A and B are shown apart, each in its own frame.
Chain A
Amino acid sequence: MSDKPFRVLPRVHAGNEHFWRGGREGRLQFRRCRACQTWIHPPSPVCPSCYGKDLGVEAASGLGTVASFTLNHQPWVPAPDHPYAIAIVELDEQPGLRLMSNVVNCPAESVQIGMRVRVVFEEHGDGDVWIPLFEPVEASP
Chain B
Amino acid sequence: MSLALEGRASISGVGQSEVGRRLGRDPLELTLDACLAAIEDAGLRPEDIDGLSTYPGAMAGQPGFTGAGVTDVHDALRLELDWFSGGMERPGQLGAAIDACAAVATGLARHVLVFRSVWEGTAQGKGGRQGIGVSGGGGGGGGYRASGPPMEYTLPFRAYSAANWIAMNAQRHFYEFGTTREQLAWIALNARRNAELNPNAIYRDPMSLDDYLAARMISTPFCLYDCDVPCDGATAVIVSHSELARDLRRRPLRVEAVGSALRGRPSWDQFDDLTTMALRDAGRMLWERTDLRPADVDVAELYDGFSFIALAWLEALGFCGKGEGGPFIEGGQRISRDGEIPLNTHGGQLSGGRLHGYGFLHEACVQLWGEAGPRQVTGAPRVAVAAAGGGPLGGCMLLVRD
A interface residues (Cβ-Cβ under 8 A, vs B): 4-11, 16, 41-42, 67-77, 79, 83-84, 86-88, 96, 98-102, 113-114, 124-126, 129, 131, 133
Least distance between A130 CB and chain B CB atoms (Å):
11
Q: Apart from A6-B140, A74-B128, A99-B153, list 13 A-B contacts with CB within 8 A.
A: A11-B146, A68-B168, A68-B172, A70-B220, A71-B219, A73-B216, A73-B219, A74-B161, A77-B160, A98-B270, A101-B157, A102-B158, A126-B141
Is B138 located at the chain interface by the 8 A CB criterion? yes
Q: List, in ascending order, chain A residues with CB within 8 A of B169's CB.
A: 68
Binds A, one of B129-137, B249-257, B280-288, B362-370: B129-137
Which residue of A has the minimal Cβ distance to B172?
A68
Q: List, in ascending order, chain A residues with CB within 8 A of B128's CB.
A: 74-75
CA distance A125 to B274 in the complex (A): 33
Q: Do the beta carbons of B146 and A10 come within 8 Å of each other?
A: yes
| Given A42-B149, A71-B220, A100-B269: A76 in contact with B168 (beta carbons within 8 A) | no
Q: List, in ascending order, chain A residues with CB within 8 A of B49's CB.
A: none
Is B145 located at the chain interface by the 8 A CB criterion? yes
Least distance between B173 CB and chain A CB atoms (Å):
9
Q: Do the beta carbons of B153 and A8 come within 8 Å of each other?
A: no
CA distance A58 to B209 in the complex (A): 51
Interface 1/0 per residue, B39-80 and A, CB below 8 Å: 000000000000000000000000000000000000000000
Which residue of B has the minimal Cβ distance to A87?
B168
From the candidates A10, A68, A73, name the one contacting B156 in the complex (CB within 8 A): A10
CA distance A19 to B217 in the complex (A): 33
Which residue of B has the minimal Cβ distance to A7?
B156
Which residue of B has the minimal Cβ distance to A101?
B157
A selection of 16 A-B contacts at a CB cut-off of 8 Å is A6-B138, A8-B145, A8-B160, A10-B145, A68-B168, A68-B175, A69-B168, A69-B171, A70-B219, A70-B222, A72-B218, A86-B157, A86-B168, A100-B153, A125-B140, A133-B157
CA distance A101 to B168 in the complex (A): 12
| Given A67-B274, A72-B164, A86-B164: A8 in contact with B134 (beta carbons within 8 A) | yes
CA distance A133 to B139 in the complex (A): 18
Is B197 located at the chain interface by the 8 A CB criterion? no
Q: List, in ascending order, chain A residues with CB within 8 A of B152's CB.
A: 10-11, 16, 42
From the candidates A5, A6, A72, name the one contacting B219 in the complex (CB within 8 A): A72
